[in-house]
Structure formats: structure tokens, C-alpha cells
Amino acid sequence: MLAEAKGDTNDKYRCPMVDVRSISVMIAEDESVTRMGLKFTLETFPDVSLVAECSDGLSVILQALVTKPNIILMDIGLPKIDGITAAAKVKEVLPGTKIILFTNKEDTSLLRVALSAGFEGYRLKKMCGQDLHSAIRKVDAGKMFIAPELETAFLTMGAKTENQTNVNVLEQKAAAPEHEVGTVVSEAYEIEMVLGKGGMGMVYRGRHRATDRAVAIKILHPEFTNDPTVLRRFQQEADMLSKFCHTNLTSVSDFGRTKFGEPFMVMDFCRGKSLESVIGASGALDPQICLPLFLQVCSALQVIHAAGLVHRDVKPANIILSDDGEIKLVDFGLCKDTAIVERALKLTNTGEVLGSPSYMSPEQCLGKNLDARSDLYSVGMSLYEVLTGELPFQANSFYEMFKMQVQKEAPREPLIKAFVPAAIEEIILKCLAKSPDARYQSAEDLAQALRQASIGLQG
């Protein structure tokens, strides 16, 4: 009977075929509990499919290029690259992807920035599941969604819901006053020059007026001074760095607010050149010069990992070499220079990435949870480049590079051509194992292997 029913040609007894399109959604949220709650909520919607979840802005950009979601639920206060900047970068290459920003705070200034940047939705995290579903469907249909709590503020702005001008969000933020040379912060530090500009703040070189000591000053942009998530993360970063008292790490010596109310932290200023610039100018380093430097990198990572942290961005550009041979492992964190991000990603209008996340572990490329072994993969990549003058993987697009990082084994030929000793070659290749279980299990284990190889060089 079932077979006969299947072959029946009488249409009036058939149910009409309905083509239900699934709305692909990416979650961008660094708080694991909130991210899990959003994930479980989305799974209850039959017309919504979760294609990726990310915990930092850089991963959002990379994963969006791969998954091309219809909608991104974007937290504003993401680490590495803030949510607004990451959303703007995604929009540059994937204009069809719609952005719903969400935050804990009913802040009309952030709403204004979001609308001027051309994003399609703005909601509060306390929204219930059914309201979230309505927001997703409304934005997917080409309409704008504003949290009900902010609708009055939205209407008073005189904003239009159609044909919005897509103002570059970075230019919008640039309206915040940049601290000029000579500005005195907290009556103690005089600003000398800009070191880095980012979506959430700026880093300046300064000088302590009483001791004439050079310092680096990180200052949050004014629009984030009332965002509890960003403030908490900034405070945690300062607390963490202030506890590090290590030759190969920068430390925080002061924390406070400027006279304009902007949170700031004062850090060691690192004099010297990055390993990236050193090999760019002079070529690959000799193993006898290279190994002592990377023993210092391992020493810095041991301290970071002992604190339960993962650096996530170990690469030659973040290893600063002083004239006396001492290194500092640095990372500008929240205030990462957007120009550096663009050079690393080289986003084009076609949606391809001509550069690559060249030092990221396979699990980091896939957006998985990371531990110390991810940093050791990045150390291996850095060692490979510093000793050969080139990276193991070369690709014309991000998609090719992504596949190589996850699937392809690093070639031995460049190591052989550069006369890298066999013992060091094996160390590098073990660091670059695709499975974290096959790598060195700690920075201390890697340091021990490097010391043994260094002894072999002297013999």
C-alpha cells in the first residue's frame, strides 16, 4: 500500500511541497555561558542552523569567510578585535551577511555607532528566546530590528530604517579625541607618540615625568568607558599583567582613569626590533643565535600557561629583540592595530584573504577550545620561519591556507636547504603536529628539547 500511495498521480491527495529555507547563523560571544545559552536557544528553532561559534573578533572574520552566514549575532565587547570593528570588516567582504549586535547595556551612543555603520540589528542579551527568533527572522527578511527598550531612543535619533548610509565604523570612532603629544595622563605620564590604534583603544609611547622612564600607555576609547564587559576584561588584563614579574614579559605598573574618564594602564615600553623585522632585513637566523631567543620565548610561555592562560598570538612580530639579546613576548590585546590586522588578513572585495593566519594552530583555525599546546604550534611556525626565512605553507587564498593548516604536513625541504640541524628539524615538526596530543605537552618540555639541541650544536 505504501508503494502504491507513493506512485499515486492524483495531486489533490498530496501535501504541497514547502521549501523551507534555513537561516544560517554564527554566534560571536566570548562569555562561554552566554554562548552556550544562545546555542541551545537556536537549536529550538527549526528554520535556523548554527554554522559557527567564535569567542574573539579575529576568529569571527576568519570563520565568516569560510561559512558565509546569513546572520551574525555579534557581541560588542569581543577580545582581539572588538565586535563593531569585526562586523565592519566582515561587511567589507560579505555585504550580504547581516549583523545583529548585542550587549548588556542600554547605551544609545553604541546604538548610534551601530546604525551609522549600516548594521541591521541591535538587541540586549536579556532578550528571551522567542524575541531572538523574531529578531533573526525580521533581519533576514531585510528589515531592521531594534531592542524594544531602545526604540524610543532610536526614534529620537531621527534614524531611517531603509537606505541607511554605510559610514565606515572606524571613521566614526575616530571622532573620539586622540591624545596629542605632550598630553599628561594622571599627572604622571607624558605622551610622546602613537604606537598603535585599534577599534577599542590606543597605545602610546610615553614617559614617566618623575623618573624619565619610557613607558607604554594603553587607553580605552571613550565610548567603551561604560561598557561593563569591556571594562571587566580591561581590568582583568591589567591585573594579570601586573602579577607577571618576568624578564621576557611586559608588566603593568599603573592603572587608572584619565581626566576624561577613560581607563588606562601603564606598561613596560619594549625597545628593540621584532624578529619579523630582523629576518625581513637580514634573512634567516643561524641556529646558534635563534635557539637562545626561543628558549626565552618558552620561559615567557611557562609563566603565561602556569597562570591558566593561552597567548593565542605567538609569532615573530610579537617577539621583540633588544640590542643585548633579550626578548619580550608582547601582544597589544584589546588595542591591536587594525592596520596590522589588515596586513595579516589582506581582505579584498572578492571575499578572499591573500595573506593567512599563518601561525594559528589547526584547532585555533577551527574555532575549538585552546590550551597551551596551541601556543607551541605557533612557536613551531615561528621557529620554522626564523630559521628558513619562509613559512611552511604558501597559498593564494585564505581557503587554501585554512585547509593546509588543518590537513597538510609542513614540508622538510626548506629546512634541509637552510641546513637546519636534524635535531632542530625534528623539534619543529613535533611542534607542528596536527594533533595537540602529538606535540610537546608543555613549554617546559619544548624548552628542554631546545636546550638539548643547543648542547648538540656546541659539541
DSSP state of 249: B
How far is it, in rounded angstroms, from Cα 178 to Cα 96? 33
Determine contact, residues 347/310, Cβ cutoff 8 Å. Answer: no
Pairing of strands 201-208, 214-220: antiparallel
> What is the per-residue burial (b if ≥16 Cβ within 10 Å, else e) of 369-395?
ebebbbbbbbbbbbbbbbbbbebbbeb
Q: Which residue has the cell 583603544?
A: 201
Alpha carbon distances (Å) from 54 to 71, 170, 234, 311: 14, 22, 20, 17
* Cβ-Cβ contacts under 8 Å for 442 (sequence gap 6 or more): 302, 305, 372
How far is it, in rounded angstroms, from Cα 261 to Cα 249? 28
SS3 state at 226:
coil
Alpha carbon distances (Å) from 377 to 4, 310, 439, 450: 60, 12, 8, 15
DSSP state of 96: T
Instruction: Report the catalytic residues.
Output: 313
